Amino acid sequence: MKLADSSAPSLVDRFGRQVSYLRISVTDRCDFRCIYCMAEDMQFLPRAQILTLEEIETVASAFVALGVDKIRITGGEPLVRKGVLDLLRKLGRLEGLRELVLTTNGSHLAEMAAELREAGVKRVNISLDTLDPDRFRQMTRFGSLERVLGGIEAARQAGFDRVKLNSVILRNRNHQDVRPLVAFALSQGLDISFIEEMPLGVVDGHDRAEEYYSSDEIRHDLEREYTLLPTTEGTGGPSRYLRVAGTQTRIGFISPHSHNFCGSCNRVRLTAEGRLLLCLGNEHSVDLKRVLRSHPGDAERLQRAIVASLAIKPERHYFELREQPVIFRHMNMTGG
Ligand code: SAM
Ligand code: SF4
């Protein structure tokens, strides 16, 4: 594919936001069923409907040619997609891509961490909501805490630039885990981000409004034990960071409800079925799979479709926890 030259259109939306970050959901499937992410009984997409690995690579190359310099591979659980390592190796070689990063539930990291690092993955985010094995099982429905802890250890050994934990905190489910999770992050030299639950898709078994636990409450819990210092450091995502005094550990807060971050949004998402989603909290999207399959090999047409899509990037999301979700897509389609 032709690389962007200085005359290539840049990815700037109607609100002046430059898009430099693409998140790709490589599969909607997962070996867990986290209660905030999925219903217990999920229908997954038939194989023919999801992008092939070659198609994903083509879209990624087009974005990099247009100036995107950071790609996150996510899912579903990205490490259950067959061939994902090959894809990562290819993406790792894309000229112009500064950062290739991954979000995973950690269940396959023990056997894959070293190869992921070799493939060119710079940083990994690992989801971990509790250190209590029973609560872990309740939150993930199918997950094994032991396996994930083994995966975290393998990631530490593999030499990534940074390993970060992601924790979704729900009132009366795992809010008591906030301080133990930070103690764990400190003991392992990891960063950690706390995420407010977003109302994406219909989930069974819990009430999102009743179980909402805000970033401010989490911060308050932590300040009873730790001194948190402001830091201007960021990772180019939606987290606001604080540093734990006397340590290298950063604590991030992803607060879609309490601290809207849309003004600085630099992201778009490719869903597992090849829709380019312009905002996690809206349905504005462009069907890139149709472009790919109706004009195979036409890189310019694909780039034009991507540039044109920015005209419909919404200004912000409006999440409402007390009503039925207006977004019927679950998080596994877009990968957080
Ligand atoms: N399976 C991988 C994992 O769990 O890390 C990657 C995909 S997962 C959808 C990406 C992130 O989204 C995870 O950190 C998960 O905790 C978070 N997540 C899932 N559903 C969410 C929701 N409804 N609200 C907020 N975060 C959510
Ligand atoms: Fe799977 Fe990640 Fe969703 Fe949990 S949050 S069900 S691990 S995709």
Q: Which amino acid is at 64?
A: V
**pLDDT digit string (tens) for 11-66?**
998 889 999 999 999 999 999 999 999 988 889 999 999 999 999 999 999 999 99
Report the atom number in ligand 1 closest to the C-alpha of 37: 20
Query: Taking 70 as the threshold, does the pLDDT of residue 263 lie above it?
Result: yes
Report residue 253 as tokens: 């807060």
141: left (phi over 0), alpha (psi -120 to 50) or beta: left
**What does pLDDT average to over the chain?**
90
Whether 213 contacts 169, CB under 8 Å: yes
Residue 328: band (very low, low, confident or very high) from pLDDT cuts 50, 70, 90: low
Which residues have CB under 8 Å from 97's CB, separation 6+?
A: 64, 68, 69, 70, 71, 91
Atom of ligand 2 lying closest to residue 38 CA: 6
Minimum-distance ligand to the CA of 109?
Answer: 1
pLDDT band at 119 (very low <50, low <70, confident <90, very high): very high
Q: Confirm or reject: Cβ of 77 under 6 Å from ligand 2.
A: yes
Distance (Å, rounded) from C-alpha 90 to C-alpha 54? 10
Which residues line the pocket of ligand 1, CB cutoff 6 A? Answer: 30, 36-37, 74-75, 77, 103-105, 127, 166, 168, 195, 197-198, 200, 331-332, 335-336
pLDDT at residue 262, as a whole number: 79
327: its two tokens? 């977004």
Looking at the CA of 33, name the nearest ligand.
Answer: 2
Nearest CA to ligand 1 atom 9: 335
> Is the pLDDT confidence value at 155 over 80?
yes
Q: How confident is the model at residue 159 (pLDDT cuts 50, 70, 90)?
A: very high
Please tell me the predicted confidence (pLDDT) of residue 323: 62
pLDDT, position 8: 57
> If you measure from the C-alpha of residue 272 to the centroid of ligand 1, how many angstroms do you get, rounded to a whole number?
15
pLDDT of residue 9: 63
Q: What is the pLDDT at residue 327?
A: 64
Residue that has been written with the tokens 């998140």 in this structure: 23
Residue 200 scores a pLDDT above 80: no
pLDDT bucket at 203, cuts 50 / 70 / 90 = confident
Compute, in angstroms, the gap from residue 192 CA to the centroid of ligand 1: 14
Ligand 2 centroid distance, CA of 29 (Å):
9
Q: How far is the CA of 298 from the centre of ligand 2 (A)?
A: 34
Specify the pLDDT at position 1. Answer: 47
- What pLDDT does residue 280 have? 80
pLDDT band at residue 247 under the 50/70/90 scheme: very high
The amino acid at residue 179 is: R
pTM above 0.75, yes or no: yes
The verdict on the CB of residue 200 being under 6 Å from ligand 2 is: no
Percent of the residues in the chain that have a pLDDT greater than 70, as a whole number: 91
Shortest CA distance to 129 belongs to which of 137, 121, 117?
137
Average pLDDT of span 213-238: 88
Residue 272 identity: A
pLDDT of 276 > 60? The answer is: yes
Ligand 2 in contact with 34 (CB < 6 A)? yes
Domains of the chain: 21-334 (3.20.20.70)
